[in-house]
Structure 1
Amino acid sequence: MSCFVKSPTSQICGVGLRSPHLEIFLEKKYKNLWLEIHPENYFSDGGKSLDSLYKLRQHYPISFHCLGFSLGSCQPVNLNYAKKIKDLANALQPFLISDHMSWSGLDGVFTHDLLPIPYTSASLKNFINNINQTQNLLGRQILIENPSSYLSFPESNMPEWQFLSKASKQSGCGVLLDVNNIFVSSKNHNFDPYQYLNNVADLDVQEIHLAGHHINTEENISVYIDDHGSVVSKEVWKLFVKSLKQFPKANPLVEWDTNIPTVEVLLKEQKKAQKLVLQA
């Protein structure tokens, strides 16, 4: 019988687990919390970090937020990568597995970045094929996260929300809705973020991400950057409240990936989110 804790309810807000905090979470054993990991950081066959992760799993539910399926690539999913994810998932039993609406590798070369894809019928077909292949390889549903966007392709013939909707409905995958990404993209491309939420209201949203961003201004041109390096902005908190009303069963999570703060600061943001969840 597994000694791992059960999946959280949608009323519990999680945080992204980053290596500086791993031992602290293991020592403190916080209640009413779940953790999301980048599984690629634990692909080794042993070591202190992986051992600590197994111990953490006895006290916290865990989800996987993957970076390497490269679902938007024109090539099939990397079978070796998929096997590593599946083996780790079998060992740790994450309650959710997600990846991004982007591509990150070609011909065996990994870019270490999440690159945009054009929103065309051809790229949609390819994207759906890769989602289907991934779900078949893993033997389970995955979630797809909407990206933060800084450029658009002239070839695109549908808006992002429509591409996401078609991909989810035609593949049967779920959705990880990142409200900070929606806000950042809305500023960079001049659209209404609340209308975006309305347009995806019928999707199977199972997780909601919160994070901070910054504004880079040069020559009077401002670009919003999704850097996950600060507290959540007031505008994104408002979008989060709206998303909670639309998707009350989704699992919310706070991310913080750059300028990583103390655990206390991270959990302060988590508690803000938790309070809004309980009020929704």
Structure 2
Amino acid sequence: MPISPWRALSPDTGDHYLFFERRFRYVVEDPEHTWRRVWVPTVIACPVCEADTGLRLAFKTGTDVVVEAACPVGHTWVEPRVDVSQWMAYCRYRAGQQEIDWLWLIEAGFGEEPPPPIDYVKEIREGAVEVAKYGRRKAKAKVRREIRKVKKKVGKRVRNEAMRPVAALLRTAWTMQAGGVDPAKAARRRPTEPKPPKTPPVSAYRKAYGVQAPEKGPKCLVCEDTGRITAPGISVPCVECGGPAAAALAAAERRAERARQGKDERRTSTTK
């Protein structure tokens, strides 16, 4: 009886069906070992076409007596070499039911062969080749983009130069039709906006009306440049400023510094 490929694994309902992409192995006890039990994994293959990959095995509780198998071509046969109890335990294991009593079966090699080890050298080599191809594609695309940009600019310039006489002829015809006035040049001219008048400074107003500028107040608002804070019965030196003597001394130092800078500038100008 053919095995339907649309069946699903359901050990709880008695349907033990699995599809194997790689080879399937059942275990046989090694007769050469007498002191301890050793299991030998054996691969199952189709007896007609000898296909050992892509097999489908199924067993229905209450309906089947032995495990049935089918190959990708469609050949079906019964497989009495696969123990039913071991097959059911393996299906429960694949369904996620971990049973400690049957872990020895998985360790012995019962079930689908494990995938081959990853060849990291090959993977790295293929990855390097892909990265190099990607870099070359990006470099070629960049070069082609630059070439297209230059060709586009040159083509636009050539078209403009080629169409310049035609544009001049059309402009002349349009001017003659408009009565001798070039509408393009007339449209380019924009009326000049009047500049706003400049507002004179405050000093100009003072000079015009004869108003004197306000006098500058004292620099120190505490002692009013006297150097001392006085009150009825109190006269103490000001701590906010140095007094008139200090202010005069600072002014003299500033004048001397400006004089020295002027001498240095004159000296450097004469040496040049």
TM-score calculated relative to the size of structure 1: 0.17
* Greater relative contact order structure (CA < 8 Å, 6+ sep): 1
**Bigger Rg over Cα:** 2
Higher-helix-fraction structure? 2
Query: What is the TM-score normalised by the length of structure 2?
Result: 0.17
